[in-house]
Structure 1
């Protein structure tokens, strides 16, 4: 029996107003998931799959029924699903676990397969060392006290505010990025790979634990596959706004791909 694949994707930001057509964006992602489910053993959703997600005790956000239904279908077929919380959907509790048996990760996770080790993280955890502002925001968003008081507010105020803040944050971020697509393992003249924070952090991690082979991140909306010393690799998964990208592991080879590569 042929070995099945493991997939990694992140930053779909489902529901984001930055998608020209949020429903079409969800359908595109679901179509991809349907196309891989026969060959999938495990799928890692590495954070920010939702542009906003907040679980109350008995209530979850409306929408995303196609994506959630596809997750349930894959789980029913024996595919193991992992959800990493990102900075946009860090308020996950146990809903996905109860509904379709997903494993929720609030921190980085070490994963081993076929003799290779992976360190998987959304990336916002690593970015707490970049500035005091990001460190403060990470602590605030992950604070149980802040979550308790936020949950006391009526969703009529919180949901619209969250989407507005997300849209404007993304808009500011795009102004700082280069125009056009960054090639799979390269960069253009305006992007300094060596000074990318996740690359710098990865080099630090390698010194602390040389046993890890692959470092996989989301968060940065960059599509990057960078070879480092001693055959280590740093992979930033891109997103499902610009790149429609994912990584695939077949037990021997890790590839960073886009659905557009096969058009």
Structure 2
């Protein structure tokens, strides 16, 4: 009986190179193979790729194993939900048309087993990080995407991969260490959301740091960590939410 909801984020496939990330892709595909037997639904919370840009007729080369596994799982009837991250925010409709996987560009509410979830990648939420927030507005503007499409893919992809690794303003990534609850901006965001509506779980990625923190009465903020250093994922069994580490 399929009763578990799975969550994963920040695989960053392709970083720092396709060759270096290939073992991570293999490991992630193994995880997908493991969970497909009892998964009621699978949530991917962004930055599956370190860079992704869809031209009208071209998508980035590679990642065939993970894309094939997602297609297999989705074709079997298991729902998969994808939230764009700051590294793959230029995703268009490839996942929806080719894989039948809905793509979300902002937080979305879900209810499972009478528990309410607010789910998203987590970038640009809460106070601070103003430089990245301004940069993101430029990136997601239709005119910016239209201009970028004029770059030949061999140039556009290599340029974006370089900037993704080198420029932290573009990536929007903070230091990967616990800053203390008063400085964790997603904690502030969750507490502010609770002022208007109750959620049992806030589930985000982006921080690359697995954590589970109480943010209110019967309300928990969960960050999924990543598949670069931690290989962590979330699983909700209908009663409790656990952060676990995948070891093949």
TM-score range, shorter chain: over 0.9
Partner residue of 2:148? Answer: 150
Aligned to 2:41: 42
Contact 2:53 2:91 in 1 (8 A): yes
Partner of 1:133: 131
C-alpha offsets along residues 164-223 of structure 1, whole Å, 9 cap, x if unaligned?
1122246x9999444xxxxxxxx6xxx31331010111111111212x110011111111
- 4+ runs deviating over 6 angstroms: 172-175
Tell me the distance in 1 between the aligned counterparts of 2:144 and 2:135.
11
Following superposition, the deviation at residue 18 of structure 1 comes to: 6.8
Query: Conserved in 1, the CA contact under 8 Å of 2:6 and 2:236?
Result: yes
Matched, 1:55 2:54: yes
Structure-2 separation of matches of 1:57 and 1:174: 29
Secondary structure in structure 2 of the residue aligned to 1:53? coil
Does structure 2 retain, via aligned residues, the 8 Å contact 1:124–1:138? no
- CA RMSD in angstroms comes to 2.1
Instruction: Tell me how far apart the structure 2 counterparts of residues 22 and 222 of structure 1 sit (CA, whole Å).
Output: 19
Does structure 1 conserve the Cα–Cα contact (< 8 Å) formed by 2:202 and 2:222? yes
Change (3 A) 1:175 1:132: closer
2:233 aligns to what?
A: 246
Counterpart residue number, 1:8: 7
Deviation at 1:99, TM superposition (A): 1.3
Match of residue 181 from structure 1: none
Any gaps of 5 or more consecutive residues in structure 1? 179-186
Alpha-carbon spacing, 1:162–1:29, altered in 2? closer, same or farther (3 Å): same
Aligned mates of 2:87, 2:173 — CA distance in 1: 17
Which residue of structure 2 aligns with residue 182 of structure 1? none
Partner of 1:218: 205
Which of 196, 201, 206 is residue 194 of structure 2 equivalent to? 206
Cα distance 1:175–1:104, how it changes in 2: closer, same or farther (>3 A)?
A: closer
Match of 1:196 among 184, 196, 215: 184
- Specify the alignment match of 1:78 in structure 2: 77
Matches within 5 A, 1:11-30: 11-17=10-16, 21-30=20-29
CA positional deviation for 1:228 = 2.4
Q: Is the 8 A contact 2:173 2:207 kept in 1?
A: no
Residue from 216, 231, 234 that aligns with 2:221: 234
For structure 2, list consecutive stretches of 5 or more residues without a partner in the other structure: none
Alpha-carbon distance in structure 2 between the residues aligned to 1:19 and 1:200: 36
The answer to whether the 8 A contact 2:174-2:207 is kept is no
**Alignment size in residue pairs:** 247
- Partners in 1 of 2:97 and 2:67 — Cα distance? 13
